[in-house]
Amino acid sequence: MRHTRRKANLGRREQVGKRRHVTASRTKGSSPVDVLRLSGAELLRYVLNEPDVWERLARCSGCGYQAMFYYSGEEDWPCPECGGTCKPLGIDWWTRASRRMRLACQRDPKLLPAVKAEWNARYKQPLDPGKLYRAEDERPAPLPAFPGFLSWLNAAWARVEPRGRPFNESAHYELAHVVGTLEHAGLSRGQILELLGEPDRGRRLEIYDKFPERVRRSLGAAFRGGVAALPFVSIREELRRRINWARRQWTEPRARLRGERVRVRKRPATT
């Protein structure tokens, strides 16, 4: 059976050109990452989350503009920024990048197990058609076969076990979307916490129905129907931490490559 990956929406924007599909990656401003400046650990996550990036990534030698191109037999492409030429980084550059990734794994034995845990949580094998979905039936997607310069990764991947508890990033993104919707409708963070901090479904509806009419009108009847199923958050600090994490993943491209968790657990000091 052919395995495919199901990928969580990480908020990346893609530009569609007339002749080819392009994912822009500029080197300045609030834009996607500059691949040439990534550390070994960041490159590792980048390669795993951008299929065949070594074949698709090109860079303009004039202005430094970087973009993903779906190949159509062309070697070079006109730069949409300065009119120069975008060329693939090439096998030599990716071979050096692979060495940096491998060195990062050697220096930090926890890196690859952590990355594998992220992969297992994010990418799943497709279920059999017609089969009733059950969360316990989900299985992590296998790692794709990499080209020769990355062959060490497949072997190392098979030797390590995922590190840490399963991380459900989709739940944090969902919460941030919900909070954003409620804030846009005019609710304060305190009112939102009052609603989401109530575990009883009936009581939630009572709280919701006491919100100002303009808020309920803005959200619409369909939103009221789903109030009972909204995410549960018990304390203000948890709400703030989860929202900040999700919004940072959306707005800071390199944050997604650092493997940041919502909560950093501090180990007790040893004497």
Mean pLDDT, 10 residues at a time, the chain of 271 residues = 40 34 38 83 92 87 83 69 86 95 95 91 74 64 87 92 77 92 94 93 92 93 90 91 90 84 58 41
Distance separating alpha carbons of residues 56 and 69, to the nearest angstrom: 5
Residue 136's pLDDT is what?
A: 57
Residue 130's pLDDT is what?
A: 65
Print the SS3 string covering 152-182.
HHHHHHHHCCCCCCCCCHHHHHHHHHHHHHH
- For residue 31, the number of C-alpha atoms closer than 13 Å in the C-beta half-sphere is 15
Residue 134's pLDDT is what?
A: 60
For the chain, how far is it from start to end, CA to CA, in angstroms?
54
Residue 189's pLDDT is what?
A: 93
Residue 12's pLDDT is what?
A: 35
Whether this model's pTM surpasses 0.75 = no
Q: How do the domains of the chain map onto residue ranges?
A: 15-97, 169-256
Pairing mode of beta strands 77-78, 85-88: antiparallel
Residue 268's pLDDT is what?
A: 47
